[in-house]
Amino acid sequence: MMFSVDKVREDFPILSRNINGKRLVYLDNAATTQKPRQVIKALTDYYENNNANIHRGVHTLSQEASDMYDDAHEKVGRFVGAKYPKEETIFVRNATEAMNLVMYGWAQHNLKEGDEVLSTVMEHHANIVPWQFLREKGVKVNFVDINDDTTLNIDDLNEKMTKSTKLVTCVHASNVVGTINDVKEIGKIAHDNKALFMVDGSQSVPHMSVDVRKIDADFFAFSGHKMLAPTGTGALVAKKDILEKMHPFLGGGDMIREVKLEKTTYNDLPWKFEAGTPDIGGGIAFGAAVDYLKKLGMDDIKKHEQKMLEYCFDSFNGIKDLEIYGPGPKDRSGLVTFNLKGIHPHDVGGILDSEYGVAIRTGMHCAQPLVERMGQSSTCRASFYIYNKEEEIDVLIEGLNKVKEIFGK
């Protein structure tokens, strides 16, 4: 049985807030989701009952905190199908840090002048900028184009793939247009050409069932805060044999086995990549977020978002001069990017907020090359999650009609 959205809403205290005199309609879930009581409670419970530093103390609190933090790795790793859930799951602050970890830990030490990294034009800046850093050491960085319907151009991928390509990386689901890439196929192309494959799963893991082993991703990055966990949480899930050979990211406490002034040996996975005191409470709450999502069921979450998308597309059809970008509702993740002709997205977003309490995102969505490739300079984006209802789309539509009226369109 599909979960009850009304029941889910009861778990999210913030949803009963009023914004500018109106009930909040939160449609900015691709930026970060709201947090349920269960996650907030996991965080406060930890601080009220178990707070201590991990992996350092023989005392009870330290051991409790260590066990809880270790378990959270196991939960998150298992959630995305990791073969060795604990060892292969590194907690980081966000997806951005996960991808930078691959660049600093793997690429900086394994790539040399003349090697190539192949990313795509449909990436978030976090999967573009770190690779550009490699140009300083003579590594070539190239970007696969999209087709005009915003799907990835696989012919272009095959053409840009060379004997020197050592890493192929792409987004699983686009944060701008919702396009879902066939990561299994892209990964196969990468591996057939002896390149490693990295996936940015920031917009897929929160919204659909993901299995890193089926995808055969060598590195898989995602954010915890886009899937109900606190801000400051994210994960890199990567193959154990690669992590074992990889250089650590940051040096310091907890990532070491033995430190001599001449030479240091490193800790077991995943701790080799988690130097210093981590966000212990956040990590534990990340585990609670996974518990919450698993209870609802990822397939049902996808179905719910599908329903929202179809309702949104149908409703948008009734608005003249509204242009939607990207694929149809069946082929995208739970977000819709659009423009009202002749009205700047910032005006749209501002009026929706001030008059209707509707939160959407406007602008470039940290993906300037994609927005420009689409021939736009800015767009509006409504993104859905488990607690959104069709009535909220009705409020969005009412707001968009009001915006048009204000601008005399």
Catalytic-role residue among 170, 312, 366, 380:
366
CB of 233 to ligand C6P, least distance (A): 9
If the CB atoms of residues 223 and 267 are measured against ligand C6P, the closer one turns out to be 223
170 flagged as catalytic: no
39 in Cβ contact with 228 (< 8 Å): yes
What does DSSP assign to residue 50?
Answer: I
CB of 29 to ligand C6P, least distance (A): 9
Residue 259 — φ and ψ, nearest 5°?
Answer: -115, 120
If the CB atoms of residues 171 and 246 are measured against ligand C6P, the closer one turns out to be 171
CB of 211 to ligand C6P, least distance (A): 19
Produce one character per residue of 96-114: b if its CB has 16 or more CB atoms within 10 Å, e if not: bbbbbbbbbbbbbeebeee
**Three-state secondary structure readout of 71-97:** HHHHHHHHHCCCCCCCCCEEEECCHHH
What does DSSP assign to residue 172?
Answer: S
142 in Cβ contact with 118 (< 8 Å): yes
Give 314: exposed, middle or buried? Use CB within 10 Å, 0-12, 13-18, 19+.
exposed
54 in Cβ contact with 280 (< 8 Å): yes
If the CB atoms of residues 284 and 366 are measured against ligand C6P, the closer one turns out to be 366
Containing 269, the helix (H) or strand (E) segment is: none
If the CB atoms of residues 94 and 165 are measured against ligand C6P, the closer one turns out to be 94
CB of 213 to ligand C6P, least distance (A): 21
Binding positions for ligand C6P, rule: CB under 6 A:
30-31, 94-96, 124, 126, 171, 175, 200, 202-203, 223, 234, 361, 365-366
Alpha helices (H) in 19-118, listed in sequence order: 37-45, 60-79, 95-101, 108-110
If the CB atoms of residues 30 and 43 are measured against ligand C6P, the closer one turns out to be 30
If the CB atoms of residues 66 and 179 are measured against ligand C6P, the closer one turns out to be 179
DSSP string over 360-375: -EEE-TT-HHHHHHTT
Containing 232, the helix (H) or strand (E) segment is: none
- C-alpha distances in angstroms, 393 versus 6, 17, 41, 313, 338? 15, 18, 30, 10, 14
* Radius of gyration, alpha carbons of the chain: 22
CB of 110 to ligand C6P, least distance (A): 23
If the CB atoms of residues 193 and 231 are measured against ligand C6P, the closer one turns out to be 231
CB of 400 to ligand C6P, least distance (A): 20
Residue 63 — φ and ψ, nearest 5°?
Answer: -70, -40
CB of 4 to ligand C6P, least distance (A): 28
Pairing between strand 25-26 and 358-359?
parallel
Instruction: Give catalytic residue positions.
Output: 366
